C-alpha cells in the first residue's frame, strides 16, 4: 500500500501489547473489498504491521482480546480514538491526538471514492516519522 514496508502481524505481537502502541488501525470486515479480514497497525514509532484474521496470520480471538478499545467504555473510546469509514467494509481507527494533522495531510484525497483507503498508511507513517 503506497510503498510502505509492513512487518507481518502475528498473535505474538498482539499478546505482547502491540495495540498499546498503536496509533492507527485499519480493520477490514470479513466481507470487505480490498483485502477481507485485513488488520493493519501503525505504531507510535512509525512501524507498520499487516495481518489477516480470515486468511491466516492472526487468530480472531487473540485479536479481539488485544484491542485496547474493545475493553473501554464508549465515552473513553470517544475521548481517545476517532474512526473513519473508508468504504467497502474498511474502517480506520486513529488516536484522536493525530486526527487534525491526519486530515490536513489527507487533504483532497478524502474524496469518498477509495483514494483515502489507498494512502492512509503512507500518511500515518509519514506523520509519525516526523514526530521521531
The domain spans of the chain are 6-130
CB count in 10 Å sphere of residue 79: 10
Question: Closest by alpha carbon to 66, among 7, 19, 29?
Answer: 19
Retrieve residue 32's grid coordinates: 470487505
Q: State the Cα–Cα distance between residues 119 and 3, nearest whole angstrom.
A: 9
* Strands lying side by side in the sheet with 38-43: 6-8, 48-52, 38-43, 22-28, 90-95, 81-87
Q: What angle do CA 106, 132, 130 make, to 5 degrees?
A: 25
What's the mean pLDDT in 53-63? 89
pLDDT in tens, 11-55: 999 888 888 899 999 999 998 988 999 999 999 999 999 999 999
CA 23 vs CA 13, 82, 110: distances in Å: 15, 11, 19
Residue 131 pLDDT: 76
Average confidence score pLDDT of the chain: 88
Q: State the Cα–Cα distance between residues 83 and 81, nearest whole angstrom.
A: 7
Residue 126 pLDDT: 92
Amino acid at each position: 500500500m503506497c510503498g510502505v514496508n509492513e512487518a507481518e502481524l502475528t498473535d505474538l505481537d498482539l499478546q505482547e501489547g502491540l495495540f498499546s502502541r498503536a496509533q492507527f488501525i485499519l480493520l477490514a470486515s470479513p466481507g470487505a473489498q480490498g483485502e477481507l479480514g485485513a488488520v493493519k497497525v501503525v505504531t507510535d514509532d512509525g512501524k507498520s504491521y499487516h495481518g489477516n484474521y480470515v486468511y491466516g496470520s492472526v487468530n480472531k480471538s487473540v485479536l479481539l482480546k488485544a484491542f485496547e478499545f474493545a475493553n473501554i467504555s464508549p465515552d473513553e473510546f470517544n475521548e481517545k480514538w476517532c474512526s473513519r469509514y473508508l468504504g467497502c467494509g474498511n474502517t480506520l481507527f486513529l488516536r484522536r491526538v493525530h486526527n487534525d494533522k491526519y486530515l490536513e495531510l489527507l487533504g483532497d484525497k478524502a474524496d469518498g471514492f477509495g483514494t483515502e483507503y489507498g494512502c492512509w498508511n503512507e500518511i500515518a507513517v509519514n506523520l509519525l516519522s516526523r514526530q521521531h
